[in-house]
Chain A
Amino acid sequence: MVTEARLTGAGELRTEEMVLNIGPQHPATHGVLRVRVLLDGERIIEGEPIIGYMHRGHEKLLEQRDFRQITNLLSRMDWLSGINNEIPASVAVEKLMEIEVPRRAQYLRVILAEMNRIMNHLMFTGSFGLELGATTPVMYAFREREELSTAMEMVTGGRMHFGFIRPGGLKEDVPRGFVEATRKAIRQLVAAIPTYEDLLAGNEIFKQRTVGVGILPADLALDHGVSGPLLRGSGVSYDVRKADPYLVYDEFDFDVPLGATGDSFDRYWVLIQEMKESAKIIEQALDGLPSGSHLGQVPKKLSLPKGEIYSRAENPLGELGYYLISDGDAKPYRMKVRTPSFSNVSVIPHMLRGLYLPDMIAVLGSMFFVVGDIDR
C-alpha cells in the first residue's frame, strides 16, 4: 500500500503515497477498464489504464467465419455503434471483389450510420453528466435515443446489434414508414439538443468541473493516434468522412466541429455539435434518397480474390480500420482491426498526471471509450 514516504518541503506535512485501483469493477469505468492510480492525497501522481479484462479474441474468430457471420461479430466490438462497425468491413469486401453498390444502398448506409452515430453520442453525452453526478441528462438523452432505436428496430430488427450491412448492400430494404419515423426522431432530437446544452453545458458547476480540466494537446493526441471527437476536441480537423470520403459522404454538406483547447468541455461540446451535423446529413440523405435496389450484383457464395486491402471509416469514437488479407477463401485469412478506443485510451496516462481524483472521472468520462472496443 505504502510505496514511499516523502517530505514535501520544510514545514509542510509529511505525506504518503497510496495506490488506488479504480476498477475493473467500478461505477466510473463503465465496463471493465482498470485504472491504477498513485495518489498523494487527492492528487494523482500517475495513473495508467490496464486493459484486457474483456478480450474476446475477435480477430482470431473472424478468421473462422464467413462474411455474413463476421458482420454480426463486428457489431459486437463497439456495441454502441454496430452499423458503423459493419460498414468498413463490407466496403473492404466490395473493393476487393469490385462489387458495385447501388446508390440507394449507399444512401441507406449513410442514414443508418449517422443514426447510429447520434445514438452513440447521446449515450456518451448523457453518461458524462452521470459521472459528474448529474443524473438527469442521461434520462433525457435516452428519451431521444429511444425514438432512434425504435426506427432502427423497424429496419434491422435489432436495437443494439444490427447485423444489417452485407457485402454489396443491405440485408433487406427499409420498410414503409421508415422515412417518416426517422424524420420524427431527428426532429425530436434537434428540438431537445438545446435542453441538453442548458442543463449541462451551460451549468456553472459543470463548467467548473470540465473547462481547463484534462487538456489533451493536439501534438500529444497525434503522437498516440488519437482520432475522432477527442482529436477534433483538440482542434485538429481530421474526419475520415472528409479526409477520405467513403460511401457517399462527399455528396453531403456538413461541418466538422472543432474544440479550441482540448479540455474535457471541448470534447463534450464536439459530441453535441456532431449530433447536429449528423442530423443535417440524415435530413439531406432522406431528401435525396434514390429508389432502386438495396443490393448490388453479389454472387450467391462469396469467395474473395487473393489480395489485401485496408478499409477505414469514421466510427463515432474515431477512426476504425480493417486490414483484410484474403487467400481466396470465403473466410478472411487475417483481419486486423484498428479500433478507435484502443488508441484513444493510450493517451490517458499523460492526461492524468497532476490532476485531482475527481478530475480523473471527468477525464475518463470525456474520453468516450467502449471497453469492448478497446479489448475486442
Chain B
Amino acid sequence: MTEILQDIFANDFVILGLKVGVLLILLPATLVLGWVELKLGAHMQHRVGPMYPGGFHGWAQTLADGIKFVMKEDIIPKAADKFVFSLVPFITMLGSALIFVVVPIGPKLVIEDLDVGIFYVMAASSIGVIGVLMAGWSSANKYSLMGALRAAAQLIAYELPLVLTAVAIVMQANSMSLVDIVEAQRNYLGIGLPFLVGPGLLGFFIFLTASTAELTRPPFDMPVAEAELITGPFTEYTGIRFAFSLFAAEYISMIGLAAVATTLFLGGYLPPIKALSGLPVPGPLWFMAKMSTILFLLIWVRWTYPRLREDQLQKFAWKVLIPLSLVNIFVTGALKLTAWF
C-alpha cells in the first residue's frame, strides 16, 4: 500500500498534474471553507446554519451564493475610477494565490522550491492590501477610504511580527526555502517533532495573531467593520466583484496563511512525530489535517470575540507582539548557540 502510494507520488506526470491541480483547486476550496465556516459558526451560536441547498447539510450553500453573486447587477459608481475599480478583485485574489507557488504540500509536491521561499511568501501576501487601497481610493466613498487607510495601517503594523517570527524559524532551519524548513523538522529534537515545540510555540501564536490581522478577520476586522464602515473598502462593490474581492480573497488568503503556518510550525507534510512515519498516510493528508486545525482555530476565534479598535490594535502590535517576537528571536538564537538544535 505504502509503496504504491510512494510510486504514484514519484511519477513526474502525476506531480505535474498535482501541481496544476493545487492552483485549480483553490477556488472550489474557498467554497468548501466558506461552507465549513458557516456551519461551524452557526453551531457555535447554537444554530444549525444552512440545511437545504444541495441536500446534505446545505453543502451547496456557498455554491448557490456564488451563482447568486454572478447573477447580481454589476454596479460601478459614477464617480469611481473605473479602471482601478475593476482591477481590484484580481489583485486582492492574486496576492493570496501566489503563496501556493512555494508551499510544499507533499514530498516533491511543490510548484517551485525557491531559495528565498519565506521571503517570497511575505512579499506576496502583502500584495492584497494594495488591492484594498485601490478599492478604497477608486470607490469615491468616504467609508471605503477610511477602511482602506485602516487596512494599510494594519498591514504595516502586522507585517513586522509576521516577518520576525519567520526569522526565528529560518534561524532554526538554517534555510529560507520552505522545503528545507519542513525537512529540518524531520529530525528536530531527535524525534521529529514540529518546530511548534520549544520557542516556536510563542512564535506560532504571534504568527497566528498577526495573520488574523493581515486577513482582516475578527477580532481585527476594523477595515471592514460593518458597524462603522458598512463593508469598508468594498462598500461600493456588487455582484461577482464583491464576492471575489471580499470572500474569495479572504478565504484564499486564509488557506494560504494556514498553509504557511503549517509549513513553518507544524512540520508541513511530515507526520507530527517521527514514530508515526510508518503509517500509510500520504504527506498531503498530514498537511491537510494540520492546515485544517489552524483554519479551525481561525474560525473559532472569529465567532467568539468582538473587534478591537484601530489604535488599540496598533498598540498591541507595536508594544506587545513586536517585542515578543524579538524575544522569540533572542531565545531561539541563544538556544541555537548552546547547541540545543
Contacts and interface: CB of A to CB of B under 8 A. Distances in A.
Direct interface between A and B, CB < 8 A: yes
B46 A129 contact: no
Interface stretch (B98-106, B263-271, B302-310): B302-310
B184 interface: no
B142 interface: yes
Given A133-B307, A205-B305, A26 B230 contact: yes
B227 interface: yes
Interface stretch (B17-25, B64-72, B215-223): B215-223
A26 B226 CA distance: 9
Interface in A246-274: none
A209 interface: yes
Interface residues of B, number: 27
Interface of B: 41, 44-47, 142-143, 146, 218-219, 221-222, 225-228, 230, 303-312
A27 interface: yes
A46 interface: no
29 contacts: A20-B142, A20-B143, A27-B226, A27-B227, A42-B146, A130-B227, A131-B227, A132-B306, A132-B307, A133-B221, A133-B227, A133-B307, A134-B306, A135-B45, A136-B44, A136-B303, A136-B304, A139-B47, A140-B46, A143-B46, A199-B304, A208-B309, A209-B306, A209-B308, A356-B310, A356-B311, A358-B310, A361-B228, A365-B227
Contact of A200 (B46, B218, B306): B306
Contacts of A130: 227
Nearest to B218: A133
Most buried by B among A42, A200, A356: A42
Interface string A201-241: 00101101100000000000000000000000000000000
A86 interface: no
Interface in A130-188: 130-136, 139-140, 143
A27 B46 contact: no
A208 B227 contact: no
Contacts of B142: 18, 20
B309 A135 contact: no
Contacts of B225: 133, 358, 361
A140 B45 contact: yes
B312 to A, nearest CB: 5
State the main secondary structure of chain A at its contact with B.
helix
A209 B309 contact: yes
A359 B304 contact: no
A28 interface: yes
Interface residues of A, number: 32
A193 to B, nearest CB: 16
Max count, chain A CB within 10 A of own CB: residue among B41, B219, B305: B305
B228 A205 contact: no
Contacts of B41: 135
Contacts of A26: 230
| 6 tightest A-B CB contacts, nearest first | A133-B307, A139-B45, A134-B306, A132-B306, A131-B227, A28-B227
Contacts of B303: 135-136
A131 B143 CA distance: 17
A209 B222 CA distance: 13
Contacts of A203: 305-306
Contacts of A209: 306-309, 312
Interface in A110-133: 129-133
Nearest to B230: A27
B236 to A, nearest CB: 15
Contacts of A18: 142
Contacts of B227: 27-28, 130-133, 361, 365
A130 B46 CA distance: 16
Given A205-B307, A209-B308, 4 more contacts: A18-B142, A28-B227, A134-B304, A358-B309
A83 interface: no
Nearest to A365: B227
Contact of B228 (A136, A200, A206, A358): A358
A273 B21 CA distance: 56
Contacts of B306: 129, 132-134, 200, 203, 205-206, 209
Contacts of B309: 208-209, 356, 358-359
Contacts of A42: 146, 310-311
A360 B218 CA distance: 19
Contacts of A330: none
Nearest to B226: A27
Contacts of A206: 306
A51 interface: no
Contacts of B226: 27
A28 B312 CA distance: 21
A275 B144 CA distance: 39
B132 to A, nearest CB: 17
Interface in A326-374: 356-361, 365
B20 to A, nearest CB: 38
Contacts of B312: 208-209
Nearest to A360: B228
A26 B227 CA distance: 8
Contacts of B45: 135-136, 139-140
A143 B44 CA distance: 13
A357 B46 contact: no
A330 B221 CA distance: 57
A20 B144 CA distance: 12
A133 B146 contact: no
